Chains A and B, each alone.
Chain A
Amino acid sequence: MFSLIESFRSAIISVKAHGFRSFLTTLGIIIGVASTIAVVSVIQGLSYSINQQFEGFGSNSISIRSFTPRSERMKGKIARITPEDVEMIRKQAEGVEYITPTLQSNIGGTSAIKYKGNQAFANVAGTTYTYQDVQNLDMKYGRFLSYSDNQSRRKVTVIGDKLREELSLPENPVGSFIYFAGEWLKVIGLTEPKGSFFGFSQDNFAILPYSTMQGLNGNLLEPDIFLQLQLKSLENLDSIKDKLKRIIRKQHHLKPDEDDDFKIETPEQLTSGISQVISTMTIVLGGIVSISLIVGGIGIMNIMLVSVTERTREIGICKAIGAKRHHILLQFLIEAVVLSLLGGIIGIIIGYGLGVLAAASIPNFPPANVPLWAVGIAFGFSAFVGIIFGILPAAKAANLDPIDALRYE
């Protein structure tokens, strides 16, 4: 125990005594760790923000959307999820807590939203009060849609901050009226801004009660509904999915040989593609890192061997006054570990700086994020490298014969 603390002390003295050389020695480790941390921080920032996008889906929710297979599209058919489908699902599906239908406007593309001579185009959707939870929306002003808004088809709307800006609505737009598709809608709430994702603003929308939206859409076109189903539990996910599939297939009169004209997606499916890319990148990265750390480790071993030779006489002195093998071994081993850890720490700091810099210099890129595990691994790996590559020089030092070491010139 004493010797451990003592070894640390003398290791630090010796690292300090050779300041510049120590720095050059650790450069390999510094570069290896720094580049890893930089890349990991950027990737993690990316995956963190991607995950946030899907967080709203909740872990036990699934979504249903219409999907027109290529072959059908050729024939000019367009698949839809209709209000009747929703009704049937509501009646027959089991294990569903609540359903959040979202009705995209099919006039939104052509019909502008107006306010006092300003006009803007936004994503207009009709939905129910459960949408707030599902999408993780926080209110900045006012309130979200309520159950009764839908029941009594109120002409109200909740808007995002981007739309508010475009229309030059007041900072707190609650109580203002905006004009859309031939109707005046009262603004009852403004959501907390979510910022942009890959350059697309997530705050350019207006949300209406589902029933109001149906009325607005009129009978112009058949509506297509996007459904989010909150499940009671994930336990019977597969059987619930099967059941839903059967209900919709029956509703759509699909023959057994016809493909589904809809898609049932779980949040895992949505994120799995992205996380696969990320994990592949991480593995490739891991390979590069281990190579660079090995190179760094060889650098340390080289200098430690030189150091042992340089200090042969000192080792002889220590042995002459009673140092045992393990004292010398520990001293040199700890010196190697101190060197590599030092490199690791400097590398982590530089890498983080690089990551932040890189993320900041790419427009609309999510901020860098260094997870604790990456720091831990970088730290652990540098210590490991120190031990692996320090053991040979340390053993060489410890095995020196006292009298030979003392005679060494």
Chain B
Amino acid sequence: MGLIRLDSICKYYSMGDQTVKALDHINLSIAKNEYVAFIGSSGSGKSTMMNILGCLDKPTEGDYFLNEKEVAKLNQNQLADIRNQEIGFIFQSFNLLPRASALHNVMLPLVYKGIGLADRKKQAVEALEKVNLADRMDHIPSQLSGGQRQRVAIARALVTKPSILLADEPTGNLDTQTTQDIMALFDELHNEGQTIIMVTHEDDVARHCQRVIRLSDGKVVEDYYNENKEALHV
């Protein structure tokens, strides 16, 4: 069954007397190990979608089932646990803690998970090795390049072994070469069985994904599978 199931999800913002329909009755289902890209023009509702999928935001209407659990019925602490353990969120602007080293940034989700220091360190180092940054773990974010920062953020998202990796324009602030590196990393993760959902503007990036969903004015206008990609994974 679907890992994610959206049932008539709406998100409205009321600005004065007018309402913006950021998401407008979305029905969607995403299975385990899918590699999905949300595309669409600016303001089409992609980020809104990701925030709802990541349990950071709540829909105005509709039901969201994650792993068969109805998200709307969960309390604050349960939502925190979901964000901690089910979801790894990657942001366009990295969102690392500026004063903490790469290692500490990656260890932080494990602190909230309640893992002891020794294990925490071991798992964080493993995650940093996975993104090829083990040699930079004592650097603080300002001492790292954009690509390196995004890799720290990916390590942080991966460290709790979440069921879903959510990435909102993960390569939006990166140059072409670094984008290629990051996408290669995503491909590798996907091949290892990771479910990945990302938002992108770039066709090059979307081409990496199995499935492409196009949003426009808060509605799904296109939902297709990449021919060659699908062939690759059948």
Binding site for B on A (CB under 8 A): 2-3, 6, 10, 13-14, 17, 313-314, 316-325, 327, 402-403, 406
Q: Are A17 and B99 within 8 A (Cβ)?
A: yes
- 6 additional A-B residue pairs with CB within 8 Å, beyond A13-B100, A324-B76: A316-B95, A319-B80, A321-B108, A323-B80, A324-B80, A327-B111
Q: Which chain B residue shows the least CB distance to A17?
A: B99
Shortest Cβ distance from B159 into A: residue: A321
**Which residues of B are in contact with A by a Cβ distance under 8 Å?**
51, 54, 56-57, 76-77, 80-81, 83-85, 89, 95-100, 108-109, 111-117, 156, 160
Contact partner of A321 among B76, B84, B99, CB < 8 A? B84
- Closest beta carbon of chain A to B118's beta carbon, Å: 12
Q: What is the CB-to-nearest-CB distance from A326 to chain B, in angstroms, rounded to a whole number?
A: 9
Contact present for A322 and B116 (CB under 8 Å): no
B76→A318 contact, CB < 8 A: no
Q: What is the chain A residue whose CB lies nearest that of B116?
A: A2
A322 touches B114 (CB 8 A): no
Q: What are 13 sample pairs from A and B whose C-beta atoms fall under 8 A apart? A: A6-B111, A10-B100, A318-B108, A320-B56, A321-B84, A321-B109, A321-B112, A321-B156, A322-B80, A322-B85, A324-B76, A324-B112, A403-B56
A residues within 8 A CB of B112? 3, 318, 321-324, 327
Distance in Å from the Cβ of B177 to the closest Cβ of chain A? 27
Cβ of B83: which chain A residues have Cβ within 8 Å of it?
319-322, 402
Known contacts A319-B80, A320-B95, A322-B109; A406/B85 CB under 8 A: no
CB distance from B4 to the nearest CB of A (A): 18
10 tightest A-B CB contacts, nearest first: A322-B84, A322-B112, A324-B80, A403-B57, A321-B109, A403-B56, A317-B95, A6-B111, A322-B83, A402-B56
CA distance A321 to B85 in the complex (A): 9
Kindly provide the distance from the CB of A219 to the nearest chain B CB, expressed in whole angstroms. Answer: 90
Asked if A406 contacts B95 (CB within 8 A), the reply is: yes
In chain B, what residue has the closest Cβ to A323?
A: B112
Chain B residue contacts of A402, Cβ below 8 A: 56-57, 83
- Cβ contact within 8 Å between B81 and A322: yes
Collect the chain B residues with CB atoms within 8 Å of residue A10's CB: 100
